[in-house]
Structure 1
Amino acid sequence: MSSGPTPPPEAATDSSPPQDADIAAFLAHLRDVRGHSPHTLQAYRRDLAQLRRLHAGPWSGLTAADMRRIAGQQAREGRHPRSIQRFLSAARGFFAYQVEHRRMPANPAAGLRGPRAGRALPRDLDVDQAQQALTPAEGLDPILAARDQAMLELLYSSGLRLSELTGLDLTDLDLDTGLVRVLGKGRRERSVPVGRVARDAIRSWLERRGDWAAPGERALFVTRRGGRIGNRAVQRRVAEAGRRAGLDVRLHPHRLRHAFASHLLESSGDLRAIQELLGHANLETTQIYTHLDYQHLAQVYDAAHPRARRSR
């Protein structure tokens, strides 16, 4: 007596072995010739079994349009971008093998890429947390406290990258006009406003800098040994400031840069101006944006940054 109807192929799980001679031959090639690991073979087996279920006809009948439709269907069903990328990678390899053995006229997945996985952004600091992190330290060596406060304020005030901060020379700063000249990625130079609070902190540091700086040292920020401060040292000092402030997230320079951008955007809504202030030459989701003149950037900055009000 029969125990019941045989489940249709659609009911098979992703881990089921593919019932397809071409896929079996390809997996054997990966194992025996290419030497892929069992883990990799298992991943290919799952993805190609899914492809077989999505296309029941001859492989030679698949077109590039079919593959785009399949990838789009997976995205609409909520499959993670990285999973879709892996699926397409397996399909490209399989079809390339078929073309090589003259079982298909062309690779329908050639050049097809899955959706890009979004990068995780650092957890936001709200304005109150930023103010908390920038509260002047007590009980530290006065010179150390002045330097650290100036670095923290400048990172948040002007949205500098870590390397931009450590690369600053004394001649890059103009406290009278409230500007700092920055050499960013690709050696692109830009001028960024420096808020009133940061300017006051920098002036306090400059009054003490001579006690540490070696003769002829050009760096704006130096260590006790007299030379330019390095990236690791800044990261440690910023993290220490976050612990001292009792933040529930780890404070690092990029988090302050992100807070700078977030708080300006919340207040101004002017995304293009903020892109310019951050020194981004382009964005992944847009074409190269139109450069804005400095007067407009300064107006956005003055009106929106929580600690950057300029004295009139």
Structure 2
Amino acid sequence: MSAAAPTVDAFLAALAHQRRASPHTLSAYRRDLERCTRLLPLLGAGTLVELTPAQIRRLVSHLARDGLSGRSIARLLAALRAYYRLAIDHGALASDPAAGITAPKSPRRLPATLDVDHLARLLDFAAEDPLARRDRAMFEVLYSSGLRLAELVALDCGDVDLADASARVTGKGRKTRIVPVGARACAALADWLVLRRTLTAEPAALFVNRRGGRLSARAVQQRLRHWADRQGIDRRVYPHLLRHSCAGHLLESSGDLRAVQELLGHASIATTQVYTQVDFQYLARVYDAAHPRARRRSG
């Protein structure tokens, strides 16, 4: 080894500077590398750069037996590989000992959804003041078009075409897509836009706060929780739940996976396929309750 291995602090500083890594990523990578460092004596190594592929496989097995999820182990391996890339660049390591090592697969968590009755109760509230009418328009658009929260708050007035019942949405990777907007969402938007013109508002933003500035994602979350509590929804309600519900209900009715993929802006159809499992679970419950050959005989 011709050079000293970089410290974890030096690695994280380089990651922040060169790759503009987010504070969340830096914090997660620090926890992962510190976890690895604590386990070095168990693996028989002194430093991270001394780990062999066999020792890293033992590390993965140990973490899995200890109950760490496959997703968390995959992130830990990503942190190790990023660290090893810097060590190689510094001449402290000849090759990546974590290359080709994968995390065990975890069962994929199914997205939670709200049933139609709960959604009707949530969305059908008396909008008696401007902010309530704004909120109803936001929630209708979230559910109607399956938007992500960031996509909703980024909408500008010019992105919505009520005559065409559509909206132009900027999603992940700055990719744009055109999504349909349902009749109830269009009506709620038309109502809100009339009121919005009476406000001293930021000229572009579709949804604004009482001071006229673009509404924040945090504010949308708070308003949705407020209305869920007021409408007697006895579970946690959050913006992404409306997106999940939109996808689940569309698939339940149409079975058109490709159309739902386009609507949600998923790069891969594999991401959308998780909603088919939700639909199957619903089908299985109905089948078990209704099919004569599915019901177990008592006694």
TM-score normalised to the size of structure 2?
0.59
- CA distance 1:162–1:135, change in 2 (3 Å): same
Amino acid at match of 2:211: R
CA shift for structure 1 position 211: 2.4
Match of 1:187 among 174, 192, 197: 174
* Percent identity between the two aligned chains: 51
> Given that residues 181 and 189 in structure 1 are in contact (C-alpha distance below 8 angstroms), is that contact kept between their aligned partners in structure 2?
yes
Amino acid at match of 1:175: L
1:227 counterpart residue number:
213
| Structure 1 SS opposite 2:235 | coil
The yes-or-no answer on 1:112 pairing with 2:101 is yes
Match of 1:148 among 123, 128, 135: 135
1:32 counterpart residue number:
none
> Given that residues 212 and 222 in structure 1 are in contact (C-alpha distance below 8 angstroms), is that contact kept between their aligned partners in structure 2?
no
- CA distance 1:244–1:79, change in 2 (3 Å): closer
Higher helix content, 1 or 2: 2
| Structure 2 SS opposite 1:182 | strand
RMSD of aligned residue pairs (Cα, Å): 4.4
Larger of the two Rg values belongs to structure? 1
In the TM superposition, what whole-angstrom CA distance separates every residue of 1:36-87 from its partner, at most 9, and x where no partner exists? Answer: x9986886788x69xxxxxxxxxxxxx99xx99xx99xx9xx9964698799
- CA distance 1:162–1:41, change in 2 (3 Å): closer
| Structure 1 SS opposite 2:178 | strand
> Given that residues 212 and 223 in structure 1 are in contact (C-alpha distance below 8 angstroms), is that contact kept between their aligned partners in structure 2?
no
The yes-or-no answer on 1:261 pairing with 2:250 is no
Match of 1:164 among 119, 131, 151: 151
2:9 counterpart residue number:
none
Q: Give the distance between the partners of 2:193 and 2:96, measured in 1 at CA.
A: 64
| Structure 1 SS opposite 2:226 | helix
Amino acid at match of 1:188: K
Gaps of 5+ in 1: 1-36, 50-62, 93-105, 290-312
Match of 1:130 among 119, 122, 139: 119
> Given that residues 122 and 231 in structure 2 are in contact (C-alpha distance below 8 angstroms), is that contact kept between their aligned partners in structure 1?
yes
CA shift for structure 1 position 127: 1.3
Amino acid at match of 1:196: A
- CA distance 1:186–1:210, change in 2 (3 Å): same
In the TM superposition, what whole-angstrom CA distance separates every residue of 1:110-157 from its partner, at most 9, and x where no partner exists? Answer: 52212343554442211111111111236x53x111111100100000
Amino acid at match of 1:210: R
2:279 counterpart residue number:
none
Amino acid at match of 2:142: L
- CA distance 1:188–1:154, change in 2 (3 Å): same
Q: Give the distance between the partners of 1:43 and 1:275, measured in 2 at CA.
A: 42
